[in-house]
Amino acid sequence: MRGPHFKKKLLPSLVAMSLAGITGAGFSAEDESDSDKQTLKDEKSGVTITVTGLRESLKRNLADKRDANAVVDVITAQDIGKFPDKNIAESLQRVPGVTINRGFAGEGNEVSIRGVDPQLTQTLVNGQFVASTSWFSLAFNRRSFNMDLMPSELVQSVVVYKSPVAELDEGGVGGTVMLNTRKPLDLDPKTLYASVETMKNSLDSDTATSANGLFSWKNEDSTFGILATVSQANTIGRGNKAENYWEEAWAASGIAQFRQDRERDTFDINAQFAPTDRLSFGLHHFNTTLDATNTNQNFLLFGGCCDTASGQSTFTNGSATVSPTTGIPMAGTLTGGSGNPGWAGWLLAQDVNSRRPEIESDLTDFTVDYEGNGYRAHVSVGRTTANGGNGGNINSLWGIDDDDARWVENGGNLSVDFDFLRDTGFYFNVNNLDMADPDWQTNRAISLSETRLWDEEDWLQFDIDFDVEWGAFDTIKAGFKTRDHVFGKSQINSTVDQAAVMSAGSTLGSSGYFGGVIGIDSGVLAAGSDMQIAEVDASFDAAVRANVTGSEFLYAAFGEVEEQITAFYVQGDFFGDRYRGNVGLRYVTTDVKGSTYSSPTDADSYFSREADYSDVLPSINFAYNLSDEMIFRTSAAKVISRPAYGTVNPALSGINPTANTASSGNVGIDPFRANQLDAGIEYYFDDNNFLGAALFYKDIESFVSSGTTQALVYEPNGDQGAPNDLETYTLTVPVQGEGGHVQGLELNYQQMFGNFGLLANVTISDSEGKTDSGDTFSLPGQSDLSYNLTGFYQTEVIEARLAYTFRDEFLAEGTAIGGALDTFDEQAFLDLSVTWHATDIVDLSFQGVNLTDEVSVQRHNPAASLGSNRVTTVNGSRYYLKASVRF
C-alpha cells in the first residue's frame, strides 16, 4: 500500500523534481498573466500554487529544498527574464557553501562548491552536458559549462546538488549545478516577453546595449507547443592590472590594461508534442556564439632578464627583498643601460596581445517520455559541439630605440623605482622616460599564433522507473547512458610581412597606430607611480592580419582525447510515516585514447596512447521529520570527477629549448575520487522562514599532482643541434597525488519581516591536500570563511535587494596539487537591484554589480617565495538599466 509520501508538500516536491529533470512532466502552468505572478498546477492532484515576486520565489526555493530527496539548494527566476542576477555564477555565490572566482573582466565564471576546485564542479543543462570552449590563449577547455555562454534570461531555475543521486550523471566531486530552461506546455498559449538593456562599466565611457525576446505558443488542447528565445547581449569588460612575474622566473613585471567588448548571440528553441496523456516528445536546440575580442596591453620592466653580475644593470635593494626562488629583488631601484641592445638589454618595453576569438556552442536534445501502468520510461538522444580558441593572438613588442641616449651604455640615465611587496597595489615609477609618449617606442617584434579548441559529445540515455510495494520502497529506477566525448587543441603559427606593417624608422607615434593614452587605475598602483601608457590602436591588429604571408601547423602542439563513457544505475526511493530518501548504485566505465605527434614537423609521427578505468559509486540520501517543522537530513556517497582536459592531453607545451624543459599531459591519469558524508538540521518555522545547519566531510582518495620525468623530445628549432634533433628533456607531467580532505559547517537563515526580508548564510571550512612527496597544504578553491548577507524590500510596486558577499583568502584554482601555487586575498562584493512594476506588463529595473569597486589581489605562494604581490586587478563597477514588457 503506497503511503501519503509527504502530501502536505507534494506539489513543491513535484515542481522541484520536474525542474531538476528527476521525473517526467508532473505539473503545468495554468496562468502567468501578471508580470510577477506564476500559477502552477499539479496534473495528478489538480492543486494549484501561485508564485508572485521575489518573496514567493524565495518561498518556492525553500519548498523545493524541503522536499528534495537529496541535499540541494534551489534558485528560481521570479518570472521570465527575472533571474536574481545578470550572471548565473554570481547568483550561485548566494548559495551556502558556494563561492566563485571572477574572470579577466571581473564577472563570475567559476563555481566552487564546499571548498573544492571549480574544475570539479559539474554543470548540466536540462540534465545534459553542454560542450564549451575557452578564448584565452593559454587556456584549455574545461569540463564545466562556460556560464558566460548562457543568458540568465533563459534560465527558469538552478538546482545545486551537494549530494548525488544514482540517476544523476557522475562527474562532480564538489557538486553538480543543474540549469533548467522553460518548456512551452508549462506556459500560457501565447506568452510574449521582450526586454532592452543598457550596460555601463565605470572604467570606460562607452555603453553597451542588449536585447532579449521570448515567444511561447501552444494549441488549445495543450498537446503541441513551441517556445523560442533569442538574446543579443553586449558587455564591456575592463581590467586595470599591476603584474609581477619575477618570482616565477619570467623576466618581466609592470602594469597593464585588459579590454574586452563581448557580443553574445543566443538562440534557443524548445518544442513539445504530447499526442496522448501517456506519450510525449521533446526537442530542444540551443546555440550560442560569443565574440570575445580582447586586447591585453602591458608596459613591462624587463629587469629579471638582465645579468646583474656582468654589469649590464644594477639593482639597489635590501637583501631581504630578494626572491629565494629566482634571486631577483622584489623592491628597489633598477638603473643603467646596456651595450648589447638585444633582448637581454631591453630595460622597458610594451608587450601587446590582441585576440579575435569567436566561440560557439550548440546542443540538440530529443526526448521521449511514456507513462504506462505503474511505470514511466524516458529516452534522450543528443549531440553537443563547441569550437573556439583565441582567434589568433597577435603579440607585438615596442621598445626604446637602440640609439636613444637615455638607453645606451655610458650615457644611459634611465632608472625604475619599484616595490612589489605591498599589501595592495604596486609602486612603479620610471625616471627620465614618459610611458605615455609614443615617439620613443619602436616595434621590436610581431608574431601571430592561433590556438584552436574543440569539444563534442554524443549521448544515448534510457531511464525507467517502476511503482513497487517493497516494504518502504515505492519506486525502483534503473537506466543506462553511453557518451562519446572528444576534445582537442591545436596551434597554427603565421609569418607576417613586418615591413608592410611598420615602415623602417617609424615609431608608434608616427606609424598611425597610436590610439591615445591609457590610464591605469590608482587602485592597482601606489601614490607616485606612473599611471599612463601609450595605447596601440586596434588598427595595428587589422594591419598585421592583412599582411600574413604564410602559416604552419605545429604538429607537436596538437592533442586530441577521446573518451567512451558507459554508465548503469539502479536506485530505490523509499518513504515512511516520518522519513524518506533513496539509495542507489551507479557503475561507470571510461575508456580514454589520447593522440598527438612526437615531431613538430613530421606528419608521420602521429601516435596514440590508451587507458581505462571503472568506478562503482554508491549513494544514500535520508531525511527524517523530527517534527512538522524540523528535518534531519544525511547523505553518503562516493563521487568522481574526470581529470581536466589539459591534464590528459598528451601534447607537449611550454617547450623551452634553452633549459630543455617542457610539459605534457598523462592519458593514464586516474580521476579525482572522494567519499563524502553530510548531516544537517533544517528548521522551517514558516513557509518563508528558515534556519539550518549542515556538516560536510569529503575524504579525497585521489587527486592529481605534478611530477617530472625524463624523455626524448624533438627540438622544434634545433637549438641544441640539428633541426628536429632528439634531446633529453625534463617533462612536467601529471601524477597521482596522495589525497586529502575537505570539511566544514554551513549555517543558513532566511526570514521575512513584513515587506522586508533577510537572507544570510555562513560557511566555515578547512582542507588539506597531500602531494606524493608528503607535503600538505590547503586545497585550491577553498576559503576558510565565506558568507552572504542579502536584504530586500518588496511591495506591489517596488522590489529592491542589497547583497553583500565575502570570501576569505584561497589558493588559486587548478587541477595540479603541489608546486608554487598562488593565493588570492579575501574578496567582498556589494550588489544592488531595484525593480519598478510600472504597469501590469511593464517593468523598469536597475542593477549595480561590485558597487564598491573591489580590488582583487593575487600573491605568489609564500611557502615557496616572498609572497610578493603577483597581480592586483580593478575591474570597475557594472551598471545595468533595463526595460521589459510581458504579455
Measured between alpha carbons, how far is 733 from 709 in angstroms, rounded to an integer? Answer: 7
d(CA 317, CA 253): 17
Extract the C-alpha cell encoding 497: 610581412
Q: What is the mean pLDDT of residues 279-284?
A: 97
Nearest of 426, 104, 101 to residue 246 by alpha carbon? 426
Does 773 have pLDDT greater than 70? no
Residue 146: all three cell numbers together: 562556460
H/E element holding 17?
A: helix 10-19
Mean pLDDT, range 477-484, rounded to an integer: 98
* Of 438-442, 713-717, 738-742, 851-855, the least confident: 713-717
Distance of CA 364 to the CA centre of its chain: 22
* 487 grid coordinates: 576534445
What integer pLDDT is reported at residue 318 of this predicted model?
A: 46
pLDDT digits (tens, 9 = 90+) for 210-251: 999 999 999 999 999 999 999 999 999 999 999 888 777 666
Chain Cα centroid distance, residue 804: 21
- The pLDDT value given to residue 80: 72
Q: What is the mean pLDDT of the chain?
A: 83
- Report percent pLDDT > 70 for the chain: 83
> Cα(169)–Cα(144) distance, rounded to whole angstroms?
13
Residue by residue, DSSP assigns 555-575 as: GGG-EEEEEEEEEEEEEEEEE
Tell me what the mean pLDDT of segment 24-32 comes to: 35
pLDDT, tens digit, for every residue of 334-383? 765 443 333 344 467 889 999 999 999 999 999 999 999 999 999 999 99
Q: What is the mean pLDDT of residues 158-165?
A: 93
**Does the pLDDT at position 416 exceed 90?**
no
> Is residue 391 predicted with pLDDT exceeding 90?
yes
Least confident of 23-27, 580-584, 772-776: 23-27
Instruction: Give the whole-angstrom CA distance, residue 555 versus residue 680.
Output: 53
In the numeric block, the cell 528558515 is attached to: 690
At 254, the amino acid letter reads: G
Q: What is the CATH number of domain 7-303+354-393+452-493+553-886?
A: 2.40.170.20
Q: What angle do CA 533, 515, 525 make, to 5 degrees?
A: 20
Q: How many angstroms separate the CA atoms of 250 and 737, rounded?
A: 27
pLDDT of res. 36: 38
pLDDT (average), residues 467-476: 95
The reply to whether the predicted model has a pTM over 0.85 is yes
Distance, in Å, from the CA atom of 317 to the CA atom of 321, rounded to the nearest integer, reads 7
Torsion, CA 543, CA 548, CA 554, CA 558, rounded to 10: 60
CB 676 within 8 A of CB 700: no
Say whether pLDDT at 131 is over 60: yes
Rounded (10°) CA dihedral 67, 70, 75, 80: -70
* pLDDT tens column, 671-729: 989 999 999 999 999 888 999 999 999 998 877 766 667 676 766 554 444 445 677 77
Q: Which residues contact 190 (CB under 8 A, 6 or more apart)?
A: 215, 216, 217, 887
The pLDDT assigned to 455 comes to 94
Task: Give the least confident one: 188-202, 334-348, 447-461, 832-846.
Answer: 334-348
- pLDDT band (50, 70, 90) for residue 658: low
805 compared with 58, residue with greater pLDDT = 805
Which range of 137-141, 333-337, 793-797 scores highest in mean pLDDT? It is 793-797
Residue 844: which H helix or E strand, with range?
Answer: strand 842-849
Q: In this structure, are residues 843 and 210 in contact, taking their beta carbons and an 8 Å threshold?
A: no
When pLDDT is cut at 50, 70 and 90, the band that residue 400 belongs to is confident
Helix (H) or strand (E) holding 101: strand 98-102
Give which of 126, 129, 165, 170 is closest to 146, Cα–Cα: 129
pLDDT above 70 for 656: no
pLDDT of 316 over the 70 cut: no
Instruction: Give the whole-angstrom CA distance, residue 239 versus residue 560.
Output: 33
Whether pLDDT at 14 is above 60:
no
Q: Which three cell numbers stand for residue 431?
A: 625616471
**Mean pLDDT throughout 275-291?**
96
Can you give the pLDDT at residue 49? Answer: 34
Q: What is the pLDDT of residue 45?
A: 32
Buried b vs exposed e over 302-313: b needs ≥16 C-beta within 10 Å? bbbbbebeeebb
CA distances from 335 to 300, 328, 408 (A): 15, 14, 12
